[in-house]
Structure formats: C-alpha cells, structure tokens
Amino acid sequence: MLVLSQNLADFYIIGMLHMHQHSRISNRASGVGDGESSIARSASGATASVSSTAPSHETLEIHSPRGELLFEYEPQSGKARVHVPVGDLEFVAPNGSIAFHSGRDIRFGASAISLLSRWGACLGIFGADGKVRSAITLEPESVKVKTPELNAEADHANLEISQTHLSGESLTAHVGIFHLLCHRFEMLTETLIEKAKNAYRSAEQLSQTQAGRLRTIVRDLCYVKARKAIFKADEDFKVDGDKIHIG
C-alpha cells in the first residue's frame, strides 16, 4: 500500500503493492527495527512496513530503495514524521498559498532561518480578548513595532538615524556616564529643574543668559572673577552687606 500526504494530516492511498511470497522477510535482511509484522516492497525496492514495539504500539514506515526512512506514522499518538536523509525539502505553490495550521506549538530549528517576502511580513501575538496585542510589521520601506510594553537588553548598542522624533508622556533614564556630542542643541520647556552635587560649565566664547528676572542664591561663598567686569543698571543698583570692601 502506497500512502501520500501533503499536510501530514490527511493521508491518501494511491496504490497497492504486489505482495511477493518473500515479502515477509527477516528483520536483519530488511533493515527495519525489531517487532516488524509485515512488509510490502515496490518494484524499485521501496518498502512500506508496519512494525510494533509493543502490542498496543504500531508504526507505519516507508523506506527508500536504499533503506532510508522517509515517512513514519504512529496511529496511537497520531504523530507523523517526514524524513529527508539526503537532499532538500521544498514546498512549492506557484499559483497558490502555503498554510501551516496547528492547535499547539510550531517549532523551527536550523543552523540559519531566512524569511523573505516581496511585499511584507507580520509577526503578531493575540491577547485574551482575541485581538492582536503585540506585533512586528515589516514593510518595504518601514518597520513597525506595536506592543503594550517594550523591553530591550544589550551589552552594546549602536543607533544611526538621520532624523528622530520622540514623543511620550514621561521619560526616565538611569545611566552611569552620559556623553552627548552635537552641532547645535536646542531645548524648549515650560519648567526646567536641574539638581547636581557639582556642576561645571565651560564656554570658549560667549555664555549668555536672557531672562525676565534673574535670581541667584548662594548659601556660602559667591566668587566672581574676570579680567574686566561691568555691572550696569538702567535704574537702581544696590549693594547691601555688613561690610563692603572696595579696592
């Protein structure tokens, strides 16, 4: 009996093999495992056998003319396996689609996996409500990531982006050392609060502060040193202290 399957779920009988008188051969001569019950051999040498390792466990096996295991099916567990000992395995649908449907997991294991698409690819995860909660979408000119929570961990990271736009309600960062190199830095904010144990600022040319009002509060010593100093006020200029030393 010859059996054909395309999706490993539906099996079709495509022919019956003629049973020779010597079809029941010994396990050693056939190369099939112990517990073999029957063998059918084609004219080319391919064999189909039903073997059993226990009274309630049978396995249908199909071997190539060289004795290579090509297909096996376990009726008790409903498990089917396709073996390709030599060569490649391809699924080709020139005018249609290829779909894999499973009620449980689908696992891929290989030295390398390549997924190539002409128009796009999408990887999504359903939530408890049946809607896609997290998804990664690849398009010819863009990559989109949509998820309620995003976590990324790496020892080293390099980002090279021509233009960047970041928007959000809050941003919190914890870093040991922060270096920022830029040609021009602009910041627009309604309220700016800076706190530091020590603050050092250096400008090679001009450092200018323009404000509606300016107030500087120093708890201990205020020291100002310049090669030339000019203090100018359009109206009153007051200097107040217990002692004032000039010169």
Give the pLDDT score at 198: 93
Structure tokens at 42: 């084609």
29 inside domain: yes
Give the pLDDT score at 4: 56
39 inside domain: yes
142 inside domain: yes
Q: Are residues 9 and 59 in the same domain?
A: yes
125 inside domain: yes
State the Cα–Cα distance between residues 161 and 143, nearest whole angstrom. Answer: 14
Give Cα 68 to chain centroid, integer Å.
37
Q: Are residues 124 and 78 in the same domain?
A: no
Q: Mind listing the pLDDT tens digit for each residue in 148-164? A: 999 999 999 999 989 88
76 inside domain: yes
Please tell me the pTM assigned to this model.
Answer: 0.55
Give the pLDDT score at 154: 92
State the Cα–Cα distance between residues 78 and 127, nearest whole angstrom. Answer: 29
pLDDT < 70 positions in the chain = 1-38, 54-55
Show which of 96, 126, 147 is a domain's final residue.
147
Q: Are residues 71 and 125 in the same domain?
A: no
Give the pLDDT score at 17: 54
3-state secondary structure the chain: CEEECCCCCCCEEEECCCCCCCCCCCHHHHCCCCCEEEEEECCCCCEEEEEEEECCEEEEEEECCCCCEEEEEECCCCEEEECCCCCCCCCCCCCCCCCCCCCCCCCCCCCCCCCCCCCCEEEEEECCCCCEEEEEEEECCEEEEECCCCCCCCCCCCCCCCCCCCCCCCCCCCCCCCCCCCCCCCCCCCCCCCCCCCCCCCCCCCCCCCCCCCCCCCCCCCCCCCCCCCCCCCCCCCCCCCCCCCC
Q: Are residues 8 and 72 in the same domain?
A: yes
Q: Are residues 72 and 27 in the same domain?
A: yes
Print the domain residue range for 124: 118-147
Q: How many domains does the chain have?
A: 2
56 inside domain: yes
73 inside domain: yes
Query: What amino acid occupies position 239?
Result: V
143 inside domain: yes
